[in-house]
Amino acid sequence: MSARIAVVGSTNMDLVAYVGVAPRLGETVTGREFRTVPGGKGANQAVAAARAGAEVVFVGAVGNDPFGPELRRTLADAGCDVSRLRTVAGPSGIAHIVVDDEGGNSIIVVPGANAGVTGLDDADRAALAGCDAVLLQLELPVSAAAAAAEAARAAGVATVLTPAPAGELDPALLDLVDLLVPNEHEAAALTGADDPEHALDALLERVPEAVITLGGAGCLYGARSGARTRVPARSVSAVDSTGAGDTFVGALSVARAEGAGPEAALRFATTAAALAVQRVGASTSMPSRAEIDVELA
């Protein structure tokens, strides 16, 4: 039987302008190229999990602007159940991104419809209750993540939190997290420890399991029970790491829900993320289950 995953999270349209040198405040420059790319950490993780082989239900909101139907379609086309995706009056969430020729970027996220997702209704809770895991991030109001974590805990569903964007974490939410998956910057921000091994020690005082992703250096996993392992990244030629973290979390959650042990699940996620970084884009770069299986064979 397929893994069943719920994602309670954000959808954003990424508005990406490519420019030689990013403008300073008050300055106007001519850009080279512009793209609209469906994103949002919630939607990206949902697409990653669906492509990695899970049945996925998405809980969130889009606006009634032209981006709303496109964001909905991206999730539906990946096979996600969008019956719990509301359309609300007003704009969809957007991320306004400037990428310069050095690959540096600056990003403004305007939450739009995401800001209105402040909790769950009974139908959302019912959808969650039938799942193996619920994936949470911090791009919705924290009350929504807390409500989802509470509902999941009550129903015996595993909770996986990506603490991004980095910032203060509600301790009450953290108490309800089974697996925390920060990148190294988020782990340092949460713990004050720059060394991932030390950061992991500190995280395991707060959650039973954690994985710190380390970009091209792989990841570090630990459990309060004492297990600890470092998995190197696959040696590939990376062209765009956007969405690598979301691909990793989506795939990791699918493997765990299917019953894989920590090492096998980390290998599956590492393989999925390595495939994603070899292609441009976020949701567009996420590998299918067949592609992941071929690499692992």
Q: Please list the active-site residues.
A: 246
How many Å apart are CA 158 and CA 243, to the nearest integer?
Answer: 23
Binds ligand ATP by CB under 6 A, chosen from 74, 159, 183, 253: 183
User: Which residue stretch of 21-29, 251-259, 273-281, 287-295 sits at the interface with ligand ATP (rule: CB under 6 A)?
Assistant: 273-281
Binds ligand ATP by CB under 6 A, chosen from 88, 223, 238, 264: 238
What is the residue type of 262?
P
Task: Decide: 60 and 10 in contact? Cβ < 8 Å.
Answer: yes
The residue with its CB nearest to ligand ATP is 245
96 to 12, 32, 110, 185, 283: CA distances (angstroms): 10, 16, 8, 22, 17
124 sits in which H/E element = helix 122-129
DSSP per residue over 255-281, as a string?
Answer: HHHTT--HHHHHHHHHHHHHHHHTSSS
Parallel/antiparallel/unpaired status of strands 12-19 and 33-39 = antiparallel
Q: Assess 233 for contact with ligand ATP (CB under 6 A).
A: yes
Stretch 188-227 residues interacting with ligand ATP (CB under 6 A): 213-216, 218-219
Whose Cβ is closer to ligand ATP: residue 204's or residue 244's?
244
Q: How far is the CB of 107 from ligand ATP (least distance, A)?
A: 11
What is the residue type of 130?
G
Q: Assess 270 for contact with ligand ATP (CB under 6 A).
A: yes
CB-CB neighbours of 91 under 10 Å: 18
Binds ligand ATP by CB under 6 A, chosen from 43, 248, 250, 275: 248
Q: How far is the CB of 296 from ligand ATP (least distance, A)?
A: 14
Q: Assess 242 for contact with ligand ATP (CB under 6 A).
A: yes
Binds ligand ATP by CB under 6 A, chosen from 87, 105, 143, 241: 241
According to DSSP, residue 59 is labeled E
Contacts with ligand ATP, residue ranges (CB under 6 A): 183, 213-216, 218-219, 233-234, 236, 238, 241-246, 248, 270, 273-274, 277
